[in-house]
Protein backbone atom coordinates (compact mmCIF):
# COMPACT_ATOMS: atom_id res chain seq x y z
CA UNK A 1 0.00 0.00 0.00
CA UNK A 2 2.70 2.43 -1.00
CA UNK A 3 2.18 5.56 -3.10
CA UNK A 4 3.00 5.26 -6.77
CA UNK A 5 6.19 7.07 -7.67
CA UNK A 6 5.59 8.53 -11.12
CA UNK A 7 3.80 11.71 -12.13
CA UNK A 8 0.56 10.04 -13.22
CA UNK A 9 -2.54 10.77 -11.22
CA UNK A 10 -4.63 8.00 -9.81
CA UNK A 11 -8.31 7.29 -10.23
CA UNK A 12 -10.87 8.48 -7.69
CA UNK A 13 -14.15 6.68 -7.05
CA UNK A 14 -17.01 8.36 -5.20
CA UNK A 15 -18.99 5.55 -3.59
CA UNK A 16 -22.36 5.72 -1.88
CA UNK A 17 -22.18 3.74 1.34
CA UNK A 18 -25.95 3.59 1.58
CA UNK A 19 -28.06 4.36 4.66
CA UNK A 20 -26.04 2.55 7.32
CA UNK A 21 -26.19 -1.24 7.20
CA UNK A 22 -22.93 -2.59 5.79
CA UNK A 23 -24.65 -5.12 3.55
CA UNK A 24 -26.74 -2.46 1.79
CA UNK A 25 -23.77 -1.12 -0.15
CA UNK A 26 -23.81 -2.14 -3.82
CA UNK A 27 -21.75 -5.09 -5.02
CA UNK A 28 -19.70 -2.72 -7.16
CA UNK A 29 -19.11 -0.37 -4.24
CA UNK A 30 -17.93 -3.20 -2.00
CA UNK A 31 -15.61 -4.54 -4.71
CA UNK A 32 -13.99 -1.15 -5.31
CA UNK A 33 -13.59 -0.56 -1.57
CA UNK A 34 -11.75 -3.87 -1.41
CA UNK A 35 -9.33 -2.61 -4.08
CA UNK A 36 -8.75 0.89 -2.66
CA UNK A 37 -5.39 2.04 -1.32
CA UNK A 38 -6.85 4.99 0.58
CA UNK A 39 -10.43 5.76 1.63
CA UNK A 40 -11.69 9.20 2.67
CA UNK A 41 -14.92 8.55 4.55
CA UNK A 42 -17.70 10.48 6.27
CA UNK A 43 -17.92 10.40 10.06
CA UNK A 44 -21.25 8.57 9.95
CA UNK A 45 -19.84 5.65 7.95
CA UNK A 46 -19.91 2.68 10.33
CA UNK A 47 -16.93 0.50 11.31
CA UNK A 48 -18.83 -2.43 9.77
CA UNK A 49 -18.85 -0.62 6.43
CA UNK A 50 -15.11 0.04 6.66
CA UNK A 51 -14.57 -3.68 7.12
CA UNK A 52 -14.94 -3.89 3.33
CA UNK A 53 -11.54 -2.19 2.97
CA UNK A 54 -9.14 -3.56 5.64
CA UNK A 55 -6.20 -3.03 3.27
CA UNK A 56 -6.77 0.71 2.85
CA UNK A 57 -5.45 3.75 4.65
CA UNK A 58 -8.47 5.43 6.26
CA UNK A 59 -8.98 9.19 6.40
CA UNK A 60 -12.05 10.54 8.26
CA UNK A 61 -13.32 13.77 6.71
CA UNK A 62 -16.51 14.74 8.62
CA UNK A 63 -19.41 15.48 8.70
CA UNK A 64 -21.81 15.37 11.62
CA UNK A 65 -24.74 17.70 11.93
CA UNK A 66 -24.17 20.24 14.71
CA UNK A 67 -20.58 19.18 15.30
CA UNK A 68 -17.26 20.43 14.04
CA UNK A 69 -16.46 18.95 10.63
CA UNK A 70 -13.76 19.07 8.01
CA UNK A 71 -14.13 22.08 5.69
CA UNK A 72 -15.28 21.06 2.22
CA UNK A 73 -12.48 22.97 0.48
CA UNK A 74 -9.93 21.05 2.54
CA UNK A 75 -11.62 17.77 1.64
CA UNK A 76 -11.41 18.68 -2.05
CA UNK A 77 -7.70 19.37 -1.71
CA UNK A 78 -7.13 16.11 0.17
CA UNK A 79 -8.82 14.08 -2.55
CA UNK A 80 -6.77 15.72 -5.29
CA UNK A 81 -3.55 15.42 -3.31
CA UNK A 82 -4.08 11.72 -2.57
CA UNK A 83 -4.88 11.07 -6.23
CA UNK A 84 -1.38 12.32 -7.10
CA UNK A 85 0.12 9.77 -4.69
CA UNK A 86 -2.08 6.69 -4.99
CA UNK A 87 -3.58 4.86 -7.94
CA UNK A 88 -6.87 3.87 -6.32
CA UNK A 89 -8.55 6.46 -4.11
CA UNK A 90 -12.10 6.14 -2.77
CA UNK A 91 -14.27 8.92 -1.42
CA UNK A 92 -16.91 7.07 0.62
CA UNK A 93 -20.09 9.02 1.32
CA UNK A 94 -23.14 8.08 3.34
CA UNK A 95 -26.30 7.47 1.34
CA UNK A 96 -25.93 8.41 -2.32
CA UNK A 97 -23.09 10.73 -3.38
CA UNK A 98 -25.32 12.71 -5.73
CA UNK A 99 -28.00 13.68 -3.20
CA UNK A 100 -27.10 16.30 -0.57
CA UNK A 101 -23.54 14.99 -0.59
CA UNK A 102 -21.67 18.01 -2.01
CA UNK A 103 -20.55 15.79 -4.85
CA UNK A 104 -20.58 18.67 -7.33
CA UNK A 105 -17.84 20.51 -5.43
CA UNK A 106 -15.65 17.41 -5.27
CA UNK A 107 -16.23 16.58 -8.93
CA UNK A 108 -15.34 20.13 -9.94
CA UNK A 109 -12.07 19.85 -8.02
CA UNK A 110 -11.23 16.54 -9.73
CA UNK A 111 -12.11 17.88 -13.16
CA UNK A 112 -10.03 21.02 -12.62
CA UNK A 113 -7.06 18.83 -11.66
CA UNK A 114 -7.55 16.52 -14.65
CA UNK A 115 -8.17 13.48 -12.46
CA UNK A 116 -10.21 10.55 -13.74
CA UNK A 117 -13.14 9.53 -11.58
CA UNK A 118 -16.19 7.28 -11.31
CA UNK A 119 -19.36 7.64 -9.24
CA UNK A 120 -21.00 4.55 -7.73
CA UNK A 121 -24.54 5.19 -6.47
CA UNK A 122 -25.85 4.15 -3.08
CA UNK A 123 -29.24 3.73 -1.43
CA UNK A 124 -30.29 7.12 -0.15
CA UNK A 125 -31.70 7.40 3.39
CA UNK A 126 -35.22 8.32 2.26
CA UNK A 127 -35.69 5.05 0.41
CA UNK A 128 -34.20 3.04 3.26
CA UNK A 129 -36.43 4.80 5.79
CA UNK A 130 -39.54 4.14 3.69
CA UNK A 131 -38.68 0.44 3.70
CA UNK A 132 -37.92 0.54 7.44
CA UNK A 133 -41.42 1.79 8.30
CA UNK A 134 -43.02 -0.21 5.48
CA UNK A 135 -44.58 2.88 3.91
CA UNK A 136 -44.13 3.50 0.16
CA UNK A 137 -43.39 7.09 -0.74
CA UNK A 138 -45.79 6.86 -3.69
CA UNK A 139 -49.25 5.34 -3.76
CA UNK A 140 -51.69 5.00 -6.62
CA UNK A 141 -54.39 7.64 -6.36
CA UNK A 142 -52.74 9.27 -3.35
CA UNK A 143 -49.14 10.26 -4.10
CA UNK A 144 -47.49 10.57 -7.49
CA UNK A 145 -44.73 13.02 -6.57
CA UNK A 146 -41.95 13.02 -3.99
CA UNK A 147 -39.69 15.89 -2.89
CA UNK A 148 -36.33 15.42 -1.17
CA UNK A 149 -35.48 18.65 0.65
CA UNK A 150 -33.20 20.27 3.21
CA UNK A 151 -33.62 23.46 5.18
CA UNK A 152 -31.27 26.24 6.19
CA UNK A 153 -30.21 26.24 9.86
CA UNK A 154 -31.43 29.73 10.70
CA UNK A 155 -34.71 29.63 12.61
CA UNK A 156 -36.28 32.25 10.37
CA UNK A 157 -35.05 30.69 7.12
CA UNK A 158 -37.64 27.90 6.71
CA UNK A 159 -39.07 27.97 3.19
CA UNK A 160 -41.53 25.29 2.15
CA UNK A 161 -43.23 27.05 -0.76
CA UNK A 162 -41.80 24.66 -3.35
CA UNK A 163 -41.89 21.58 -1.09
CA UNK A 164 -45.61 21.79 -0.38
CA UNK A 165 -46.46 21.04 -4.01
CA UNK A 166 -45.17 17.47 -3.66
CA UNK A 167 -47.51 14.75 -2.40
CA UNK A 168 -44.80 13.24 -0.19
CA UNK A 169 -41.95 15.27 1.29
CA UNK A 170 -38.79 13.92 2.90
CA UNK A 171 -36.58 16.36 4.78
CA UNK A 172 -32.94 15.50 5.27
CA UNK A 173 -31.16 17.24 8.16
CA UNK A 174 -34.47 18.69 9.30
CA UNK A 175 -34.40 17.73 12.97
CA UNK A 176 -33.72 21.21 14.37
CA UNK A 177 -36.38 22.75 12.15
CA UNK A 178 -39.09 20.10 12.52
CA UNK A 179 -41.64 22.30 14.29
CA UNK A 180 -41.04 25.27 11.97
CA UNK A 181 -41.23 23.10 8.87
CA UNK A 182 -44.52 21.55 9.98
CA UNK A 183 -46.03 24.92 10.91
CA UNK A 184 -45.07 26.39 7.54
CA UNK A 185 -46.47 23.40 5.65
CA UNK A 186 -49.79 23.83 7.45
CA UNK A 187 -49.72 27.57 6.71
CA UNK A 188 -49.17 26.75 3.03
CA UNK A 189 -52.13 24.40 2.84
CA UNK A 190 -51.05 20.94 4.01
CA UNK A 191 -53.78 19.48 6.24
CA UNK A 192 -52.79 19.44 9.91
CA UNK A 193 -53.87 15.78 10.04
CA UNK A 194 -51.22 14.74 7.45
CA UNK A 195 -49.06 11.82 8.66
CA UNK A 196 -45.60 13.02 9.67
CA UNK A 197 -43.04 10.34 10.49
CA UNK A 198 -39.62 10.66 12.06
CA UNK A 199 -37.15 7.89 11.25
CA UNK A 200 -33.77 7.81 12.99
CA UNK A 201 -30.65 5.82 12.08
CA UNK A 202 -32.47 3.84 9.40
CA UNK A 203 -31.19 0.27 8.81
CA UNK A 204 -28.82 0.38 11.80
CA UNK A 205 -29.09 -1.27 15.21
CA UNK A 206 -30.17 2.10 16.62
CA UNK A 207 -33.05 2.53 14.19
CA UNK A 208 -36.31 3.78 15.64
CA UNK A 209 -39.35 5.52 14.19
CA UNK A 210 -42.44 7.37 15.35
CA UNK A 211 -45.59 8.56 13.63
CA UNK A 212 -47.05 11.99 14.37
CA UNK A 213 -49.51 14.25 12.64
CA UNK A 214 -48.30 17.46 11.06
CA UNK A 215 -50.13 19.32 13.85
CA UNK A 216 -48.25 17.38 16.53
CA UNK A 217 -44.95 18.04 14.79
CA UNK A 218 -45.76 21.75 14.56
CA UNK A 219 -46.22 22.07 18.34
CA UNK A 220 -42.89 20.39 19.06
CA UNK A 221 -43.85 16.81 19.89
CA UNK A 222 -41.50 15.37 17.27
CA UNK A 223 -38.62 17.57 18.42
CA UNK A 224 -39.12 16.38 22.00
CA UNK A 225 -39.04 12.74 20.88
CA UNK A 226 -35.99 12.92 18.62
CA UNK A 227 -32.48 11.94 19.67
CA UNK A 228 -30.17 14.97 19.25
CA UNK A 229 -27.32 12.72 18.11
CA UNK A 230 -28.81 10.22 15.67
CA UNK A 231 -29.29 11.13 11.98
CA UNK A 232 -32.99 11.56 11.30
CA UNK A 233 -35.46 12.10 8.48
CA UNK A 234 -38.83 13.85 8.50
CA UNK A 235 -41.27 12.07 6.18
CA UNK A 236 -44.58 13.80 5.48
CA UNK A 237 -47.53 12.83 3.30
CA UNK A 238 -50.79 10.89 3.00
CA UNK A 239 -48.95 7.97 1.39
CA UNK A 240 -47.47 7.31 4.84
CA UNK A 241 -50.85 6.77 6.50
CA UNK A 242 -51.80 3.43 8.01
CA UNK A 243 -53.08 0.90 5.50
CA UNK A 244 -56.47 -0.72 6.02
CA UNK A 245 -54.76 -4.11 6.02
CA UNK A 246 -52.29 -3.21 8.77
CA UNK A 247 -52.82 -4.54 12.26
CA UNK A 248 -53.80 -1.83 14.74
CA UNK A 249 -50.81 -0.96 16.88
CA UNK A 250 -51.09 -0.35 20.59
CA UNK A 251 -50.67 3.22 21.71
CA UNK A 252 -47.70 3.93 23.95
CA UNK A 253 -47.89 5.74 27.29
CA UNK A 254 -47.75 9.07 25.47
CA UNK A 255 -50.86 8.22 23.47
CA UNK A 256 -49.05 7.88 20.14
CA UNK A 257 -48.90 4.75 18.06
CA UNK A 258 -45.40 3.26 18.04
CA UNK A 259 -44.09 1.00 15.32
CA UNK A 260 -43.52 -2.55 16.46
CA UNK A 261 -40.47 -4.49 15.37
CA UNK A 262 -41.19 -6.80 12.44
Task: Kindly list the strands in the beta sheet with 88-93, ordered across the sheet, starting from the edge strand earlier in the chain.
Answer: 57-60, 38-41, 88-93, 11-16, 116-120
Annotated catalytic residue 63: yes
Among residues 150, 12, 176, 166, the alpha carbon closest in space to that of 85 is found at 12
Q: Which of 6, 7, 23, 42 is catalytic?
A: 42
Catalytic residue (one of 6, 7, 63, 206):
63
Tell me how far CA of residue 66 lies from CA of 62, 113, 149, 175, 229, in angstroms.
11, 31, 18, 11, 9
For residue 194, list its beta bridge partners: none
CA angle, 136 as apex, 256 and 139 as ends, to 5°? 110
Instruction: Quote the CA–CA distance of 167 and 164 in Å, as a whole number.
Output: 8
DSSP-based three-state secondary structure for 41 = strand
C-alpha 160/C-alpha 245 separation (Å) is 32
User: Exposed (0-12), middle (13-18) or buried (19+): which is 85, by Cβ within 10 Å?
Assistant: middle
Return the active site residues: 42, 63
Amino acid sequence: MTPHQDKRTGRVTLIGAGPGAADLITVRGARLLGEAQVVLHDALVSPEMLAWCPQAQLVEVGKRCGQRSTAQLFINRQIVDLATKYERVVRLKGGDPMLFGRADEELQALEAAGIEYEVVPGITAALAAASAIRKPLTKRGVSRSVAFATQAKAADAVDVEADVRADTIVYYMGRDQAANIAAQLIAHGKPASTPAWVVEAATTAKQRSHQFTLRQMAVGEAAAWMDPVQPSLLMIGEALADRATEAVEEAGPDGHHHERAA
